[in-house]
Amino acid sequence: MKSVKGLASIKLIRLTGLFYLFVIICAGFSQGYVRGTLVVHENAVETAHGILQNKGLFQLGLTTDLIAFLLDAVIAILLYKIFYPFNKTLAMLSSAFRLIAHPAIGSLNLLNHYMALKVLETDSLSNSFNTAQVQQISAYFMEAHHYGYLIAGSFFGIHCLLLAILIYRSNVFPKVFGGLFLGAAAGYLIESFGNFNVPGYEDYTALIVGITAALGEVGLTLYMLVKGTTESYKNLKKSPL
């Protein structure tokens, strides 16, 4: 284990919790409210009308997603700083999977979100495609975004799994959060691999990941903000090694 000086401060842990809270709010708004409200599954016409009639909201959804992904890059580094004294390799792997998940894949996937609106607004497409075809192209972009989200979710699931192990092996947070993040990891992986390989159960897998992620991520976020860390970790920082 590193020296006491190498251990994360409570201030750093609370800052991580604050950033995590912003990510949860922004991502929940984008995925849960904006796309959940405007995108009608397997109905290109209704989806196109929803996007065009709520253009500002649709663009705001992209913006809040991008903010969440930028903050997620910061969180990945902060989590590494918190856990590297206990297992540097696992901490590095966990942060790497988080960086790949949303800051990398998720950010690039926003191009599909943007293009769904762009094709509906491009007048030149009407020379080659009729209205129904343009609407279907837009729907395909939103479908591509959905599957890109699932790919990012598979990387995030591995991150949650490694983070669960780190929580178990350290005394930074109560070990119950290790179990909750193990559940979150299972939820993300079930949704990602399940929707690709066993289609037709999307509503169930979305419910699973929604519940498990809420318990793990929201629970840990609130703990970081309110408690900061465990008493044993606080005492470890006060005592010489």
Going by pLDDT thresholds of 50, 70 and 90, the confidence category of residue 234 is confident
Kindly report, residue by residue over 80-124, the tens digit of the pLDDT. Answer: 999 999 999 999 999 999 999 999 999 999 999 999 999 999 877
Q: What pLDDT score does 95 carry? A: 98
Residue listed under structure tokens 């691999």: 193
128-175: pLDDT as tens digits? 889 999 999 999 999 999 999 999 999 999 999 999 999 999 989 999
Q: What is the chain's Cα-based Rg?
A: 20
Start-to-end Cα distance in the chain: 9
Indicate if the pLDDT at residue 74 is higher than 70: yes
CA-wise closest residue to 114 among 150, 62, 66, 70: 62
Q: What is the pTM of this model?
A: 0.91
Please check the confidence at residue 35 and state whether its pLDDT lies above 70: yes
Single out the residue of 234, 226, 233 nearest to residue 21, CA to CA: 226
